[in-house]
Amino acid sequence: MRPAILFPLFAETRSLAGVGPRLERLIAKAAGTRLVDLIFALPAGVIDRSYRPRIAAAEPGRIATLTVKVLAHVPGRERRQPWRVRCGDDSGVIDLVFFHPHKDYIERQLPLGETRVISGRVEHFSGRVQMVHPDYVLGVDEAASMPAIEPVYRLTEGLSQKVMGRTVRGALERVPELPEWLDPVFLRARGWRSFNQALATLHAPQGEADLSPLTPAHARLAYDELLANQLALIMVRERLRGRKGRQVVGTGVLRRKALAALPFSLTPAQLAAIAEIDADMASPLRMLRLLQGDVGAGKTVIAMLALLSAVEAGMQGAFMAPTELLARQHMAALAGMAEAAGIRLALLTGRERGAARSTLLTELKSNAIDIVVGTHALFSEDVAFHDLGLAVIDEQHRFGVHQRMQLQGKGHAPVDVLVMTATPIPRTLALTAYGDMDVTRLLGRPPGRKPVDTRVLSAERLNEVVSHLQRAIASGARAYWVCPLIEESEKIDLAAAEARYAMLKEALGAALVGLVHGRMKPAERDATMAAFKAGDLKLVVATTVIEVGVDVPQATIMVVEHAERFGLAQLHQLRGRVGRGSGKSTCLLVYHQPLGEIARQRLKVLRQSDDGFVIAEEDLRLRGAGELLGVRQSGLADFRLADLAAHGELLAAAHDDARLIYSRDPQLKSPRGAALRVLLYLFGRDEAARYLTTG
């Protein structure tokens, strides 16, 4: 259960004075539904109200705080016209302008002849000084309550800065004095204050410098969030590995047959990766390993060899892919090795229905099928194995920690899990998204792979690109053309796949050009890609549905239109769709003006490097963690206070701290452990906290 000390923070925002249903909805859009969401909604800027000139000296465009006398009320002649309140000091006159005025309210706030302190943006209009809807109108005796430096919060339409600020202050008043969960020596060495003090400091910035994620107050709270993440991942990991696993040791018979059928020898990096996986599977502990390999590094062969070990040991294997297209592609890629080894391979996706599906499920349960390849359909309740020993998950960032845990129920004993990703992941992200797993990095490329010639060019040269394609296709080449949208959007002027498809059909010949995007029926997509692979189609116009895993070795040209709109890792993935055969390959990154500085840097990195791990680190630096993998689809923690690009060093420290904590106090029963339980619940790591026994 959530500790009682946190109950006030997990109350709904409607529990605050002045927050009714309408305001509650607006706050939910801007920050969240609970008080804890409000206290973690840090200021995005500051307003300095310390500029206090006379009216005549007030600079237009600046926020100014003025002391004025109310001289006259000038109502609009028509209802739609603003109400003006003329005010002055000994240097000049200023008009306060109110649209959609409430007469009684304005006259009560600004009575004739009284002195008021006003604050807002000064403007010059038609030769007069004015201030539209002042932020503050206070009596002289109330002026001290107005902050000289005011935090600025992110808003949504209909929510004012004043109301949001008041609501956040109301939430901060409810924050209880929380116990200290950090080691006192570490705290003193960093010069950090308590959680409560750091939180108060962050919500009272005294200038732009105080908004930096590197301030001591921000670093303290970021570390708290990272520590909660790392501790939770270690607890999940131990839970996943908690029940004693099985020693899965193959005979090597099936492997030797499969390897003999391959037209190439394994690289030293592949052999080293297989050795690590074999050692994990032979251990009595459950395997949870992430296999990271750049595009085309040869991960699929390694996965098949691991699956064959499970079959040799009398068990079954499952190979999961994120899309039906990829599942069918893996099925085709593994078929040769399976046939050589003499084992039964089957495919299970959402498309298999009725009698065919029933037969397949019966055979899976009776052990007539050795390895099943599929999509999320393998998670379905009606899918039962005779004895699942190993699950391979391809393209991990489509699956998360919860799905990894769900696999536990698919085997009689804990199932070994091997996760593969062709998206190279910076160390900081690996620690946060995959902290529950051991990591193998598969470096280098298989022999014979050639680097892809990458060129960056302006969309003004699009005609040259089309001419180049015409010549290349005439000489037998095959190509991809990737667009960011499916159809024309009036709001965003991007080249749409359908419009580009129509143009390229006309330029290259309708019979040679195909279209693939995410809204097509799977059967249509598969048919187009099969025709492309067979050589009937020479060009495929596509959205990023082809980003992951699509394998057509004969394709040698990749055109990415609006390359400035894509992330570095995504561009690297797209480039990896070519250069998979023996022919020389080219990637043309076509950008549209204006080209921002970050986009310019991104394209420069792509030209200079084809090392996915170098590119991933640059992507993290340029874009931040949230965008890099896509928080919603990654299982990646959605950090509210930590910035992995800025706090990488803190993450490494939190990782070490969490391991030490768990080794000494796995049930968090010590005094510090009790405080750490509060930390886990504070940052929403309830699932990990529930693994703890009470006490």
Q: Is residue 518 predicted with pLDDT exceeding 90?
A: no
**Mean pLDDT score, 215-234:** 94
Cα–Cα distance measured from residue 5 to residue 176, given in angstroms and rounded to the nearest whole number: 7
Which of 367-376, 519-528, 555-564 shows the lowest mean pLDDT across its residues? 519-528
Q: What pLDDT is attached to residue 636? A: 43
Are the C-beta atoms of 10 and 2 separated by less than 8 Å?
yes
Burial class (CB in 10 A: 0-12, 13-18, 19+), 230: buried
Burial class (CB in 10 A: 0-12, 13-18, 19+), 511: exposed
Q: What pLDDT is attached to residue 19? A: 96
> Which CATH architecture does the domain made up of 48-152 adopt?
Beta Barrel (2.40)
- Best CA proximity match to 262, nearest among 302, 317, 316, 313: 302
Each residue of 640-692: pLDDT tens digit?
Answer: 899 877 888 898 899 999 999 999 999 999 999 999 999 999 998 887 777 66
Tell me the DSSP string of 79-137: TTSPEEEEEEETTEEEEEEESS--HHHHHHHS-TT-EEEEEEE-EEETTEEEEES-SEE
Cα–Cα distance measured from residue 487 to residue 367, given in angstroms and rounded to the nearest whole number: 46
DSSP symbol at 12: B
Neighbour count for residue 523 (Cβ, 10 Å): 10
More reliable by pLDDT, 68 or 425: 68
CA angle 642/647/648 to nearest 5° reads 125
Cα dihedral angle (338, 343, 344, 348), rounded to 10 degrees? Answer: -50
Are the C-beta atoms of 43 and 151 separated by less than 8 Å?
yes
Q: What pLDDT is attached to residue 69? A: 98
Neighbour count for residue 113 (Cβ, 10 Å): 7
- Best CA proximity match to 199, nearest among 687, 695, 693, 682: 682
Which of 346-355, 517-526, 616-625 shows the lowest mean pLDDT across its residues? 616-625
**Mean pLDDT score, 346-374:** 92
**Mean pLDDT score, 418-423:** 83
What sign does the CA torsion over 352, 353, 356, 362 have?
A: positive
Each residue of 597-619: pLDDT tens digit?
Answer: 888 888 999 998 887 778 877 87
Cα–Cα distance measured from residue 253 to residue 342, given in angstroms and rounded to the nearest whole number: 11
Same fold for the domain at 253-442 and the one at 453-609?
A: yes
| Domain 253-442, classified CATH 3.40.50.300, yes or no | yes
Cα–Cα distance measured from residue 203 to residue 226, given in angstroms and rounded to the nearest whole number: 20
Cα dihedral angle (403, 405, 406, 408), rounded to 10 degrees? Answer: 140
Q: Could you tell me the residue ranges of all domains in the chain?
A: 1-44+153-176, 48-152, 253-442, 453-609
Each residue of 623-642: pLDDT tens digit?
Answer: 654 443 333 333 344 688 99
Residue 106 dihedral angles phi and psi, to the nearest 5°: -65, -40
What CATH number should be reported for the domain whose range is 453-609? Answer: 3.40.50.300
Q: Is residue 404 predicted with pLDDT exceeding 50?
A: yes
Each residue of 160-205: pLDDT tens digit?
Answer: 998 999 999 999 999 999 999 999 999 999 999 999 999 999 999 9
Structure tokens at 385: 């194995």
Q: What pLDDT is attached to residue 635? A: 38
CA-based Rg of the chain, rounded to a whole angstrom? Answer: 31
Q: Which helix (H) or strand (E) is 72 found in, with range?
A: strand 63-74
Between the alpha carbon of residue 483 and those of residues 257, 506, 525, the distances in Å are: 43, 17, 16
- Best CA proximity match to 480, nearest among 402, 419, 409, 538: 538
453-458/586-591 β-pairing: parallel
Each residue of 97-148: pLDDT tens digit?
Answer: 999 888 899 999 999 999 999 999 999 999 999 999 999 999 999 999 898 9
Q: What pLDDT is attached to residue 688? A: 73
- Best CA proximity match to 623, nearest among 573, 567, 544: 567
Q: What pLDDT is attached to residue 526? A: 82
**Mean pLDDT score, 212-235:** 94
Each residue of 265-297: pLDDT tens digit?
Answer: 898 989 999 999 999 999 988 888 889 887 677
Cα–Cα distance measured from residue 379 to residue 391, given in angstroms and rounded to the nearest whole number: 11
DSSP symbol at 536: S
Q: Is residue 447 predicted with pLDDT exceeding 70?
A: no
Cα–Cα distance measured from residue 153 to residue 500, given in angstroms and rounded to the nearest whole number: 42
Q: What pLDDT is attached to residue 549? A: 52
Each residue of 455-470: pLDDT tens digit?
Answer: 999 999 999 999 999 9
Q: Quote the mean pLDDT of the chain.
A: 87
Which of 216-220, 236-240, 613-617 shows the lowest mean pLDDT across its residues? 236-240
Q: What pLDDT is attached to residue 285? A: 84
Each residue of 320-347: pLDDT tens digit?
Answer: 988 887 888 889 889 999 999 999 999 9
Q: What is the residue whose two structure tokens read 């004075």? A: 17
How confident is residue 525, by pLDDT bands cut at 50, 70 and 90?
A: confident
Q: What is the residue whose two structure tokens read 């995007």? A: 517
Q: What pLDDT is attached to residue 624? A: 54
Burial class (CB in 10 A: 0-12, 13-18, 19+), 425: buried
Cα–Cα distance measured from residue 582 to residue 580, given in angstroms and rounded to the nearest whole number: 7
Q: What pLDDT is attached to residue 353? A: 81
List CB contacts of 160: < 8 A, sequence separation 6 or more: none
- Residue 63 backbone class (left: φ over 0; alpha: ψ -120 to 50; beta: rest): beta
Please state, for a pLDDT cut of 70, what percent of the chain lies above it: 88
Q: What is the residue whose two structure tokens read 């705080």? A: 65
Cα–Cα distance measured from residue 394 to residue 204, given in angstroms and rounded to the nearest whole number: 46
| Domain 1-44+153-176, classified CATH 1.10.150, yes or no | yes
Neighbour count for residue 484 (Cβ, 10 Å): 20
Q: Which helix (H) or strand (E) is 514 found in, with range?
A: strand 513-516
Cα–Cα distance measured from residue 487 to residue 493, given in angstroms and rounded to the nearest whole number: 11
Q: Which helix (H) or strand (E) is 329 found in, with range?
A: helix 324-341
- Best CA proximity match to 644, nearest among 341, 365, 226: 226
Each residue of 23-49: pLDDT tens digit?
Answer: 999 999 999 999 999 999 999 999 999
Each residue of 468-497: pLDDT tens digit?
Answer: 999 999 999 999 999 886 555 545 545 577
How confident is residue 411, by pLDDT bands cut at 50, 70 and 90?
A: low
Tell me the DSSP string of 333-402: HHHHHHHHHT--EEEE-TT--HHHHHHHHHHHHTT--SEEEESGGGGSTT---S-EEEEEEESGGGS-HH
